[in-house]
Every structure is written in structure tokens, then in C-alpha cells.
Structure 1
Amino acid sequence: MKRRLWFSVIVAAAIGPATVGGAARAGSADDYYPKRVWGSLEGGQMNTSLLVFRDLNRNGVYDLGDRPMSRVAVELDKPDGSTIMRLTNAGGFANFRMSATQRNFEVVDAGHYAFRVVPPPGYSFTTGNASQESDYVVSPGSPGDMIAKTTTHPVGLAADLTISGAVAAGTRVVLTGPDGLSAAAKVGPDGRFSAAVAPGEWLVDFSAGGATERRHVVVGAAPVVLSAFQGKGGPAVAPLPVEHVVGFDDLMTSPGVFEVPSGYGGLGWYNLVAMHQRFTDGPGYVNTTMSGEFIAYNSSGHPAQVFSDKPFDFTGAYFGAGWDDAEGETLILKAWRGDESAYDDRLVLSANGLVYFAADYRRITRLEIRTQHYWQAAIDDFAYRTGP
């Protein structure tokens, strides 16, 4: 009985007459679905935005395959002569709030505004529109009561491509490009070298004390860091025949985090976590993603391992710093054959952009991935080879 009485009250409230000035009358469609009265100030807000993207194919056009670039500085010159800056978000957008009535926002006065993108170190423009201008006018009834006469166009950035590495003093390094031309790289007193390169297939020849080594390197969308020249001489260990690349996208179908399980890709995994690139606010996860939507990192910034009872070759992977507070963090990679140490490399990470570490570690059984200060390293497209 109580349930029936409660239901009847609800129905009466739902279908009862409208009340105006204390007098009841039947409602109409105009009452329930009012139209906006145009011409008055809305008092709301709207973003005016500029998109910055990673131009992976370097063609100067925002097209399929390109990716948003997070944590890029975009300046806005205002009509009063002041300049403000906003960083791009995970979607690659630098947003400036626009309102004709809310005076604490960024775009509040009609007039001429100018956008200017400031690229991070190691990146150059591909689109030729680093600076863009537009006039803004008051438009009552629009979401922010203000509109742009012209909207911005996407700004493309691409990494300055290099092949770099570290060798012992006295080592000669010669690079041969896709055009067949060769040039010696300048090796500094600390044994480090870096050479500007173009996309394509390269040969890198090392020689020191009678020992030689040749590396085949494919340069794509990111700078390449080579593992250290061993300088041991003798015949090189042949690469294993079966190539693999794991991008961690086939582990998950929804945003979240997922511990990479042993057996994935036929290898053992310890303390590596996969997640959607935008699951956290770390810009480096977005900027390091190269394929799909998911990425991996060393859990809680602590050392992680990849291992197998059967020897495997670690070919390489894309690496970046997950968080902007970890800019300049050092990645330490070590590998073993059983209990014997085989490889030891270090490279600097950035949240602004990724590098490809061309490891060419052969016949190892364990790989350790750690960071010097225990920040999370973002990892994508982990490449390796196994036996038949």
C-alpha cells in the first residue's frame, strides 16, 4: 500500500499542471523546451586553442599517423602588450580561456592576438607557421561572448635526427648514409659522438686497436643512440633469426594499468607495467608513444627486467622520461648471458621527446632496465629476436 501511494505522488508531480503566479495551468512545449534569447551576453567561456603535433613523416601536414605533442610552450601576445604562456596538454592543445565578461581569463578584450610556438630543444618546425595571428571580436550569445575572426592551424614539430653514442678514446667512427657517402664522426674527449643524419638506412663502422665492428642502423622519426662499441674484435655473434616487436597494445582494451605478465611475447617480464598513454598526466608517456595507444614503464621507477631461459637478442626500443620533473634522467641498461655481464649502457631521457636506443645486444638471457634517480622511464616498441 505504501508503495502504491508513493508511486501515485510521483506521477502526479510529473504530469501535473504548471504553476505561474500561484495559478495552475497546463504546461506547453515552449515551457519545457525553451529557446535561447540571442543578442545578450551569455557570461560563459570557451577555449581558443592551438594544436602542436609530432610530424612523424615530416611532410609539413597534419595527417594520418601524426601524434599530438604534449608539454610544448605556446605564447600569446595580447592587445594590451602583455604575453602569457600555456603548455600543450595530452591532446597537443594549448588552451586559452575566452570570455567577454570573466576578466580573469586570458582572452577578454576585442583586438589583435598573436600565437607563437616555442619548440623544446632538439625539435624543429615542419609546417612553417610557428607564429599565427587573429582578431577577436565580441559576439553576444556565443559560449564565451567572443569569437576569433580566423582560427589557428596545427603546428608540426619533428625531432632533429642524429646518430650518437660513446666509444673508448682513440676509436674511429665512420657513418655511411643512404646516399652512399661516408664521413667520420667527431669523437669528443669524453668518447661521445653525435652526427646529424637524415631518415633512412645507415652503416656505422667502428675501429680501434685492430678491432672493428659494423652496425646497420635505420633512422626513422627519432634520434638514435647506439650501444657502446665493445672493441673486442673477432667474428661477431650472428643475430638470431626470428624478429619480434611488442607495443603493449594487445595486453589491454581499456584505459588503466596492467602488469606485463611473463610469457608475453615469449619472454619473462618483471616490474614492467603497461598503461594507456593518457592514463596519467605525465607528458612523456604521450611523447614517447610511437605505435597504438599503450606504453610501458618501470613500475614506481624501480628496476625492471626482461629475461628468458633461452638466449634472445635485444634489438632496441623507444625510451623517454614519463614525467617533466624527470627531465634529464639517466637510463641504465645492463644485460647478462647467464651470470656473465655482457652489456652496460647509459643514455639521457627527456619528457619532451623520445630516442630510439639501438641496442643490438646478442644472445643475452637477462636485461635490466633502471633509472639513476628512480623516475619512470616510458618504453614503446620493444624489439627483440629469438631462435627458431
Structure 2
Amino acid sequence: MTDAARSLASTTAPSGHSNAARPARLVPSARSAWHWSWLAPLLLFAAVMAGTAIGETAIPLDTILKVLANHLGDATFAVDRIDAGIVWEYRLSRAILAACCGTGLALAGVVLQALLRNPLADPFLMGISAGASTGAVSVAILGIGAGTLTLSLGAFAGAGLAFGLVVVLAHTAGSGTGGGRATQAAGAIILAGIAGSQLFNALTALIIAKSASAEQARGIMFWLMGNLSGVRWDDVALALPAALAGLAICLWYRRALDAFTFGADSAASLGIPVRRVRGVLIAAMALVTAAMVSMVGAIGFVGLVIPHAMRFLVGSRHTRLVPASALAGAIFLIGADVLSRILVAGQVLPIGVVTALIGAPAFALILIRGARTR
């Protein structure tokens, strides 16, 4: 057994065994780690209510609760029709979709950073965002699909095509397990993702420059930077199962993710089927990311910053890191969406702009703190 594998075994040893391999300051006790768990539903509910209440026109909390009671139950509270329409048709669905996207992107970041052992890995490393952009542009500008494909379906198809290209390229470059080949496979995936991203970004730019009118180019560029303005309940019906499925898969493979943080070779020495587990996790996160990007466009820094921030708070064990990142990603993106609506009076900013303005300084602080504590 390798030294990394012994270290992993020590982190999962019962109380009284050696835990020297993990820094005590980063890994709270199991008991303290669950103290916050009962707060998670309350925090998420509060964030969704805040995302529904705050906007160009403030909506009182009691009005929101009455609207929910009217739609979800048999209540007949008297509510202004305009307020009811804002709450149910616009803001509530938008807040829930923001939570789903934040959860999905944060989980994808957790998985990719563990599997690839790269702290800069995020959901868009696989070229999914670039492929989704090309698919959306092809539908909106070139008319591919002859009117049968929506912008979201075109983006999803493009994301799937990009992911398939990255997988084929990485496999051709030499994927495998054991004997150092697993490390080579992770490097091949990263390089293939970079190549795929550059290719599809170039295709998107070419289509816009050659075929788009000024108005089309403006609309597409706004969507590419992240846009929740057109969200409806049909989108929530797709995003919510995708986010929950991604969370369930990550929790199911949480111990395998712990093993991967010590390297694929160490994971193989512990009996984990590296190729199969890696394939399942990467494919699942690619599909989750593709679903989110196809609805809201490219939103950066969520999958990059949130996992790092949560490691400082709950440690690196995925039993805690996965649910904490899911919750933090949901709350972060709801907050970013609220800011996108109120920062500039009478105008809604692309949500990707807000996440970048918050995420870039936050990631810089995480890097500086990490360098000082090493």
C-alpha cells in the first residue's frame, strides 16, 4: 500500500487511531461537523425567500407566503395580482433555478478538483461551456434545427458534443489506470478540455462575426455571460432533478473522492475501480453542467471558488465537503442574482459579471491564505 493510501486509511480510522496525516485545524470533528446540518434547509429557504423578495420592487415576506399558500395549497388569500405574478411567474422560479445552478456547478468543481488533483479545475475545464455557447449560437443565428430546437436544447446539444470530443481526445491521448497511467489520464483530460474550449470558443466567435446582426450579437453575448431573465417553471423542472441527481451521485461516491485526492494510483491500491468511477463521476458532472449552462449560459467562478472556500470551513473530507459546497453554491448564486438586479437601477446585469466580480477577489484571498498556511 502506498504512503498516500496509508494516509487515507488513517483519516477513516475510528476514534483513538492516528490522525496525524490530516491537519486538525482543517477537519472538524464528526460531531461538530453535523451541528450546522439542521440549519441547511433553513438557510436555503431564507436565501430563496430573499431572492424572491428583493428586486426592483420589494415584495413583503407575508405576501410571498400568501402566494405560496395560494398556489401550493387550497388557500384563498387576497393578494395583488401584480405582486402575485412577480412572485410566482418571475422571481420564485428564478431563485430556485439559481439555487439549482449554484449547487450543480459547485458539485462539479468539487468532483473535478478531486479527480484531476488540480486546484484550478472547474466545470468549464471540460469545454462544456464553450460547446454550449456554440450550440446556442448555431440555433439562434444559423437556424440549425429548422425551428424545432430551442436555445436551451441547442446549448445542451453543443455541450454534449464538446464533452464527447474531449472524452475521445483524452482517451486517444492515453487514458488508463495504475502504474502512473492514471496520472497521465488526468493530465490528458485537462489538456483535452483546454483544446476543446479553444476550438468551440473560436467557432462561436466565427459564427457571430460572419452571420449575426448587431441585435443578435448583443443578445447572444448577454446570454453567454449568464442570464436568468427568461427562466420559467419548465426550466426548474429540468434543473431541480439534475441538481438533486448530481448531489446523490457525489454523496454515493464520497469515499472514492476521498481516495482520489491522494492520487488515482492510491485509489486503485485501495480496490477502487478507477476507470469506471472516474468515468461515471465526470460524465455525471458534465451532464449536470450542460443542463445548467443550457438554461442560463456561462457562469464562472462558482465551481472554482466555492469548493476551496468550503474546504477552509469544513475540511477536505467529502462527507462534509459535498453537502457544504452544494448549499454554499446555491446561496452564492442566489445572492449574485439579487445583486445583478439591484446594482444598476433599471437594468439587469449578466449574472456571470457579478460572480466574476465577487469570485475573482475571493479566489485571490483563498490563494494567499493557502500559501501562508503551507
Same fold (TM over 0.5): no
Larger strand share, 1 or 2:
1
TM-score by length of 1: 0.20
Which is higher, the Rg of structure 1 or of structure 2? 1
> Normalising to structure 2: TM-score of the pair?
0.21
Which structure's relative contact order is higher, taking Cα pairs within 8 Å and 6+ residues apart? 2
Give 1 or 2: higher helix fraction. Answer: 2
